[in-house]
Chain A
Amino acid sequence: MKRFVAAVIPSAITIFFLAVTLLTYIVPGLSDFRARLVELAVIVAASAMLLGVVNLLHVHGTNILRRRGWFYSLVLLLSFVGVLLVALFDLVLSLNRVPAATLAQQATSGTAMTLVYQYILIPIQASLTALLPFFLAFAAFRTLRMRRTVGSTLGAVVFLVTAMVVLLGQLPLSNLPPLVSDNLRAARDAIIGVWAMAGMRGILLGVALGIVATALRVLVLADRPSSD
């Protein structure tokens, strides 16, 4: 009986919410109800963050104790404690100034926390993002060098030529003869508007079918994401 209940209840809850959410897309006027369900899911997800923090401390604490990749683990834990202290500092400062209901929000958007975001986190992330084109150029070059079969070499050549044409077509090439620059722009427009668009739509159609198939597998109990 206990095993039956443990197997049936999670599946029943999953199917109920999945079917109801699906109905809200088909039956007009139920979108408000879907919004309420999403709010519920957000609350559950927020409580799972605690699990994430415990895992983070556990994994990196173990790394430090075992002296295995310990340096970055130590940096991470110190950063964690530092940011937590900053959030608490903001919270304490705002204790008498803001209503109790907005205290939690103040902890993540207070002055000190905003400074941490603005002067540490955002510049680091922007620097990392700026490296992306170089990583991609190097990867493309390596692709061309490594491909061994005729098909894969052809694919790599098409990839590189297409990327070059699209990049050159974006540039304001006023020094080039109009015939060349006009043709480059026309080629870029044809690649983006026809070939890439057709490929993208085909891929997105496949992705949509994959998503629906995954959801329907759960709906007909072929997949059980939750434990019995």
Chain B
Amino acid sequence: MSMDLVQIVVPPLILLVFIVSILIFWGIVGRGRRPALRSLPGFKSLPGQLSQVIEEGRSLPLSLGSGGVGGGDTATTLAGLAVLEGLAEETAATDAPPIVTVADPTTLAMAQDVLRRAYAEQGNAAGLDFRSVHYVAASPLPYAAGVMDLLSNEETGTSVMAGVFGSEAAFIAEEGSRQGLIQVAGVADLTSQAVLYPSVTHLAIGEEMYAAGAYLNAKPASVGSLLAQDLIRLILVILISVFALFTLLLGGAPR
């Protein structure tokens, strides 16, 4: 099989296997079988921290970063919104929604909608203040400066970052450290992972961020998708290892 044919056939094939595995795992989890998920301390501990914040009458700032919906950052922004959905379900019974900061107007509309849905499902639509979602700025650095100001003014014990961030995440994390906050971050960008590593309490790296929904809302679809993701990753690791072994033993990639 030539490499051109491999490049044409393999991506749709992997997509197909991915879709089928999501549907199968979704069905299995939906029937009540709960698999043990790998440990992600940050997102696992978030509901407990949220309860504590609510009991103490404080607020929980959630920074969704500078990503928007409609461009290349859509999936990462949706993963951030899944974190918001999980938090909103917990807070919807109270009149203290998370304080959400965004740097893109499309994310602003989506975040307000997520909050509205969560509050409507709890029958507390009147308790929602749409001003809890702040459009801070249109570019990353002013956004970071705005979030720093918010963290210094709000009475809170925890700060969450989930979405699209670059190196400006270091400023937000530094302000959080200065305030002595427990910081949970989920980012996909390599630069932001590097700058956040020394500062935050729990850092979800790489694909862990996209798994946040499975930990926070535990919906069968989210858990099933996480299992499918792990399966495909295992298949890819085996394929890469086989190709690397071929290259090493035969002195070239298989044709």
Binding site for B on A (CB under 8 A): 22, 25-26, 38, 41-42, 44-45, 48-53, 55-56, 58-59, 62, 68-69, 72, 125, 128-129, 131-132, 135-136, 138-140, 142-143, 156, 159, 200, 202-207, 209-220, 222-223, 225-227
Contact = CB atoms under 8 A, between A and B. Distances in A.
Interface stretch (B34-42, B47-55, B132-140): B132-140
B116 A227 contact: yes
The 4 closest A-B pairs by CB, nearest first: A210-B210, A222-B221, A206-B207, A52-B105
Contacts of B144: 128
Contacts of A135: 170-171, 174
B229 interface: yes
24 contacts: A26-B15, A44-B70, A45-B70, A51-B105, A51-B108, A55-B131, A55-B135, A58-B131, A59-B131, A62-B131, A69-B150, A129-B141, A132-B170, A203-B190, A207-B206, A211-B76, A214-B75, A214-B78, A216-B18, A219-B19, A220-B26, A222-B221, A222-B224, A225-B78
Interface in B172-213: 173-174, 177, 188, 190, 193, 195, 197-199, 205-211, 213
Nearest to A56: B135
B106 interface: yes
Q: Give the residue among A68, A136, A200, A215 with the most B Cβ atoms within 10 A.
A: A136
B22 A216 contact: yes
Nearest to A140: B198
A58 to B, nearest CB: 6
Nearest to B194: A136
Size bracket of the B interface? 35 or more
B108 A48 contact: yes
Main secondary structure of the interface of A (DSSP, over half): helix
Given A45-B106, A51-B105, A227-B113, A210 B170 contact: no
Interface of B: 11-12, 15, 18-19, 22-23, 26, 68-71, 75-76, 78-79, 81-82, 104-106, 108-110, 113, 116-117, 130-131, 133-135, 138, 141-142, 144-145, 149-150, 153, 167, 170-171, 173-174, 177, 188, 190, 193, 195, 197-199, 205-211, 213, 219, 221-222, 224-226, 228-229, 232-233, 236
B229 A209 contact: yes
B206 A139 contact: no
Nearest to A40: B70
B205 to A, nearest CB: 6
B108 A210 contact: no
